[in-house]
Structure 1
């Protein structure tokens, strides 16, 4: 039964291997935290939840609210995909002893889209209030 369980391959801890692996994990967790925050923001837009009650509620409901919430949720999924892609590429580079200080291009593209969605959401919320 134990012959079916793959044994983990040991990688020699030379130089900064352990620190680099911790960096990869920390980056993946940061992407997951960003995705969680974006999905929470998406839910709050759909439910029209506010931290501070206003006398005059904003009109971020209806079709515009659904579009903004959908963009935020898509950005959350893109952040998860970008984090997983960066982790996969970085881990394979770490195992093959390649330098991986430069982020991969799909990661940069996806995170640029996520940043654009966050910036667009800020503009829409400021314009509505």
Structure 2
């Protein structure tokens, strides 16, 4: 049986490769789920589903800045998840250790967490 070529994308299942790959997929799906929830929150704010602050309820574009921020956070979450998946897959493929989380991913997800926390405060205080 011939050995696979170096350019092959097949990774031999030795050690914890299968578990690591499942971890990468699970993390990507978690990012997509968070992005979906943020986009639903953005749509709820735009459709005034009892989430628009009372002082903005009469305005035609009331809640648009907050909804735009939520949607931007959703897009950033998808980008961060995709980048983390790609980097992890590349590390797995080249047999590099990837236990240390990338700093760029942490920075982007910190911004997303700040947006979520800020939205909670805004909706509680102004709502």
Instruction: Bin the TM-score by the shorter chain.
Output: 0.7 to 0.9
> Over the residues paired in the alignment, what is the CA RMSD in angstroms?
1.9
Match of 1:71 in 2: 69
Secondary structure of residue in 1 paired with 2:69 = helix
Decide which moves more: 17-26 or 95-104.
Answer: 95-104
Residue 60 of structure 1: CA displacement?
4.2
Counterpart selection for 1:123 from 110, 121, 124: 121
Instruction: Tell me, in whole angstroms, the C-alpha distance in 1 between the residues paired with 2:105 and 2:71.
Output: 18
Partner of 1:3: none
Specify the alignment match of 2:4 in structure 1.
none
2:18 corresponds to which residue? 18
CA distance in 2, matches of 1:8, 1:115: 38
Alignment length (residue pairs): 118
Question: Structure 2 length as normaliser, TM-score?
Answer: 0.86
Q: Of 72, 89, 92, which aligns to 1:91?
A: 89
* C-alpha contact 1:60 1:128 (8 A) present in aligned 2: no
Matches within 5 A, 1:23-102: 23-50=23-50, 58-61=54-57, 62=59, 65-102=63-100
CA contact (8 A) 2:70 2:115 kept: yes
TM-score with structure 1 setting the length: 0.84
* In 2: Cα distance, 1:89 partner to 1:67 partner: 33
Counterpart-to-counterpart distance in 1, 2:56 and 2:122: 9
**Runs of at least 4 residues off by over 3 Å:** 59-64
Consecutive unaligned residues of structure 2, counting only runs of 5 or more, are 1-6
State the alpha-carbon separation in 2 of the partners of residues 64 and 123 from structure 1. 17
